[in-house]
Every structure is written in C-alpha cells, then in structure tokens.
C-alpha cells in the first residue's frame, strides 16, 4: 500500500501544470462509445478512475488505443452492456453510470452495476431514473444492477424538470436524449464546466444540444453520431487545490493551463482571506499572505463554491485568524477528514453539515488516513503547511483524481515522497 511522507513548513513556489478535468473526461469517455466511428480524445488526465473507464470499454467489446499519456483513440463499435461480466469493473467507480445514458441512447438497452465511488453521502440516482423513464425507458434496479430498456417504441423527447441539481443526472439524461426522437427540454440542470464540456463533445459528434451552462438544456435528437476529435477542459478542482495550497503554505504559485472563469468562487474566497490572486489568460497566480483572515463558505452547485473544494478550503481556514464557518450543502458525509486534521492540532467543531473552524497559528505533523479523494488532497495540503513530518495513508483515493500529485508538488518545492509499504 502506498503512502505519502511529507515534511511541512516550506512555502510552495513555482509553476504547476493542471491536467484535463477528470469529471468531464468520465462523461466524455462514456459518450464516445455512442458512435461506431473512432473518436480521438486529447488532454485526458492520467488518473486511476479514467483507467477504469477505458478498461470498461474494452471489457464491453470496444477498443481503446493509447496514442500518448493523455491522448486516446476510442472506438465504440461492438460495445455491449448485455454481458454482466463485461460491466462488473464499473462497480469500482461512480461514473460507470454514464454508460446507462450512453448505451440507452445508442442501442435502447443498458445493463450496468450500481455506482461505487467516494463515500461522501448517500448518493441516490433517482433523478437519472426519472429522466430515462420520462424518455420512455423501462428502468429497473435489481441485485445491484440497473437495467434500462426501451419498449416497443424508441426513446422519445420529453420535458423533464430535475428535483435536485445533479451533475450526473444532467450528463446522463442529456446523452440518452441526444439520440431520442424529437425534442427534449431539461430544466433545473447542473451548470458545471464539465456539463458544457460534455455537451460540446456530444455536439462535435453530431448531437444538437443547446443551452448547456444555463438552467435549461434543449436537445433535438439525432439518429446517428459520427467520428470526432476533442480536447478536454482543464481540471477546475485540481487547479483550486493547488491555489489553496499556495495560500496555506504562504507560497507563490502560478497554476497553469486553467480557465480562470471556472475558478471565480475559489479566487473570491482566497482574496477574502487576504491572499493576492492574479488572473492571466490561461493561468492564475496565488500569493499567500502571512496573516490570513477568516471567512464563511457554503458549497453550492456551480457557479457556487464547489463541494469538491470544501475539504481544501476548510483546511486552509485552519490557519486563518478568527472563526470561520463552512456549510456543506451537497453531500452529508463530507467532513470525515476533520478527525485527521484534529490529530494535527486543528480546532474544528462539526455540527451536522456545518464546520466551525477556530484558526490557530501552526499545525503539527501527524499520521493520517485519507477518507476520500478531495479530503485526501486536503490532508496532504495540511501536512505541507504543518511543522514536522506527516504521513498520509490510503492514497489510492488521491490517485483516482490527481495526476502525478507528489511529482507536481515536488516541482513547486513540496517535500513529499511516495513510499510503498
Ligand atoms: C459529481 O458527482 C462528481 N462526480 C462529484 O465529484 C461531485 O462532488 C458532484 O458531482 C457534485 O459536484 C463525477 O462527476 C463522477 P450530483 P454526482 O449528482 O454526479 C443529489 C470528486 O471528488 N442527487 O451532482 O454523483 C446527491 O445526493 C467527486 O471528484 C439526488 O438526490 O453528484 C447530491 O446531494 C466526488 N438524486 C446532489 O444531488 C440523484 O439522482 C448532487 O449530486 C442524483 C443526485
């Protein structure tokens, strides 16, 4: 089992390169099998969850050719989800559910195991099922497997209002609807950058989707998709993580290959804390102030503050002056890492979905275990800012979503090594 050993207390300095967006890539990989033609995808992040999605395509009968570390040629010709063994691999990740929308749209049939993924709350998929059902599919969940199939008539357009704003349901139903007969209107949809990226990708294959990035998406179904070549957007959360790290270690880091607009909520909070943030065309620079101020944060769907940045900002606030309040409004179990931060001396009280953080001057190194992906990254960040040596175990979570994490951190002066115990 691999773990990170980190010696903290050094400001991070230099330039770090952000990879492609994991959560955009996961939807786009599934969508790529909706055509039988080959699809070239560039700027793919080299992280474990992506590897599982690509392996799944092969085990379902498609083909994947690696052109280089970040470029893949995918061919969905021959992909079938009828063989349960072929899709079993998808139990390991949450995004496997995107094959339901993709296969239902393409073939009118999908059979996929219920999603796994980070344990950060109950994570139901009722809104996905509501959408597929409205499009005319019969959806059943039995023995941990979701089966969705059309009846005598093909999928048809529908007017669907989502009861909760869901990234997964928006992308999944958008995929199925893009091959349904007629027009679909999706209301109260998610607006995250990866929704726009997935819609742009589908359009590049011949779909007719308008309004992605707003509350309402309009889709005219088409019969067939064709080949495409597409580059994935930069990862907003990886970028935000390095931004918080620069602030918390009182460093000066240029975070390169980003879309600054996607980072506005994070930039705003870091500035409220007293840090200096410069925005360039494709980069942001964060200069951490010696004394940082308290602030309050509430996670919300985009353009609100992302839940995937909640552990990182909560951790940064441990070393800010005053008492901060962080409210987690998306997932109910996303404060598990706080027990680990307490081992470092952090002063945090949890009350339901609210964290009350009383800032202290210094954290001290500790032996910690990552409870999930983003929390794992936040513990590494705390360790980089702390006095002394820390160990973070269970880093397989971190490797699901951060490419070459320790290497990138060493590139900006982080004293971190990965040890296989
Ligand atoms: C996506 O998860 C991301 N995962 C998560 O990334 C991210 O935290 C989350 O969106 C929110 O931004 C992927 O893209 C693979 P949701 P998803 O559906 O789609 C409720 C990371 O660290 N809900 O937007 O599963 C749900 O319980 C991670 O990279 C329903 O009630 O999240 C939650 O409260 C972890 N019914 C809220 O909606 C549904 O059918 C938002 O969930 C679906 C969701």
pLDDT digits (tens, 9 = 90+) for 36-58: 999 999 999 999 999 999 999 99
* Sheet bearing 63-68, strands edge to edge: 63-68, 71-75, 38-42, 228-231
Average pLDDT over residues 310-328: 98
Q: Which residues pair with 4 in a beta bridge?
A: 392, 418
Distance CA 155, CA 212 (A): 21
| pLDDT (average), residues 94-104 | 92
What is the Å distance from ligand 1's center to 301 Cα?
Answer: 10
Burial class (CB in 10 A: 0-12, 13-18, 19+), 28: buried
Per-residue pLDDT tens for 367-386?
999 999 999 999 999 999 99
Please report the pLDDT score of residue 84 as a whole number: 59
Which two structure tokens, joined as six digits, stand for 99?
A: 């094959």
Q: Is 244 a catalytic residue?
A: no
b/e for 176-196, b at 16 or more Cβ within 10 A? Answer: bbbbbbeebbbebbbbbbbbb
* Residue nearest to ligand 1 atom 44, measured at CA: 166
Mutate to test the pocket of ligand 1, among 164, 190, 197 (most ligand atoms within 8 A of CB): 164
pTM: 0.96
Structural Rg of the chain based on CA atoms:
21
Question: How confident is the model over 395-415, as a mean pLDDT?
Answer: 97
Q: Is residue 222's pLDDT more than 80?
A: yes
pLDDT number for residue 120:
64
Instruction: Note the pLDDT of residue 335.
Output: 96
Q: Find the mean pLDDT for residues 104-125.
A: 81
Predicted confidence (pLDDT) at residue 82 exceeds the cutoff of 80: no
Q: How confident is the model at residue 95 (pLDDT cuts 50, 70, 90)?
A: confident
Q: Has residue 92 got a pLDDT over 80?
A: no
Residues in the ligand 1 pocket, defined by CB under 6 Å: 23, 26, 94-95, 118, 120-121, 123-128, 164, 166-169, 190, 307-308, 330-331, 373-374, 401
Nearest CA to ligand 1 atom 4: 23
Q: Rounded mean pLDDT of 71-91?
A: 82
Taking residues 160-178, report their average pLDDT: 98
Q: Per residue in 127-153, pLDDT tens?
A: 999 999 999 999 999 888 899 999 888
Which region holds residue 393: left if phi is over 0, alpha if psi is between -120 and 50, else beta?
Answer: beta
Q: What is the mean pLDDT of residues 398-414?
A: 97
Which residue of 19, 21, 22, 23 sits with most ligand 1 atoms within 8 Å of its CB, as the best mutation to test the pocket? 23
Model pLDDT, residue 55: 93
The CA 199 to ligand 1 mean position distance, Å, reads 18
Cα separation, 261 vs 303, in Å, equals 10
pLDDT band at 91 (very low <50, low <70, confident <90, very high): confident
Whole-number pLDDT of residue 258 = 98
What pLDDT does residue 18 have? 98
Neighbours of 210 (CB within 10 A): 12
Distance CA 159, CA 183 (A): 8
How confident is the model over 223-243, as pLDDT tens digits? 999 999 999 999 999 999 999
CA of 407 to the centre of ligand 1 (A): 29
Q: Confidence class of residue 1 from pLDDT cuts 50, 70 and 90?
A: confident
């Amino acid at each position: 089992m691999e773990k990170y050993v980190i010696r903290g207390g050094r400001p991070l300095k230099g330039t770090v390169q952000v990879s492609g967006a994991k959560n955009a890539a996961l939807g786009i990989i599934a969508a790529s099998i909706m055509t039988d033609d080959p699809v070239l995808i560039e700027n793919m992040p080299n992280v474990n969850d992506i590897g599982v999605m690509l392996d799944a395509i092969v085990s379902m009968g498609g083909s994947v050719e690696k052109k280089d570390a970040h470029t893949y040629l995918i061919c969905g010709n021959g992909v079938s989800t009828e063989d349960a063994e072929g899709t079993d691999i998808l139990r390991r990740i949450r995004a496997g559910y995107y094959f339901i929308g993709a296969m239902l749209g393409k073939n009118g049939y999908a059979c996929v195991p219920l999603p796994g993924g980070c344990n950060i709350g109950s994570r139901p998929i009722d809104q996905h099922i509501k959408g597929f059902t409205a499009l005319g599919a019969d959806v059943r969940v039995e023995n941990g497997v979701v089966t969705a199939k059309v009846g005598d008539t093909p999928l048809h357009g529908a007017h669907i209002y989502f009861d909760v704003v869901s990234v997964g349901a928006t992308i999944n139903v958008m995929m199925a609807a893009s091959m349904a007969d007629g027009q679909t209107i999706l209301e109260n949809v998610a607006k995250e950058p990866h929704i726009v990226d997935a819609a742009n990708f589908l359009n590049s294959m011949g779909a007719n989707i308008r309004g992605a990035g707003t509350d309402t998406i309009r889709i005219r179904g088409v019969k067939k998709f064709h080949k495409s070549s597409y580059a994935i957007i930069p990862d907003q959360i990886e970028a935000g993580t390095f931004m918080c790290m620069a602030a918390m270690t009182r460093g000066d880091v240029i975070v390169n290959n980003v879309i600054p607009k996607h980072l506005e909520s994070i930039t705003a909070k870091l500035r409220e804390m007293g840090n200096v943030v410069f925005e360039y065309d494709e980069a942001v620079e964060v200069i951490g102030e010696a004394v940082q101020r308290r602030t309050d944060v509430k996670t919300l769907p985009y353009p609100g503050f992302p839940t995937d940045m909640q552990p990182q900002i909560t951790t940064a606030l441990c070393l800010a002056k005053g008492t901060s309040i962080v409210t987690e409004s998306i997932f109910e179990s996303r404060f598990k890492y706080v027990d680990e931060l307490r081992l470092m001396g952090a002063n945090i009280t949890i009350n339901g979905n609210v964290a009350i953080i009383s800032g202290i001057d210094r954290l001290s190194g500790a032996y910690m275990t990552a409870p999930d992906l983003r929390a794992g990254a936040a513990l590494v960040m705390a360790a980089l800012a702390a006095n002394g040596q820390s160990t973070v175990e269970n880093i397989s979570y971190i490797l699901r979503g951060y490419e070459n994490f320790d290497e990138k951190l060493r590139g900006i002066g982080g004293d971190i090594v990965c040890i296989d115990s």
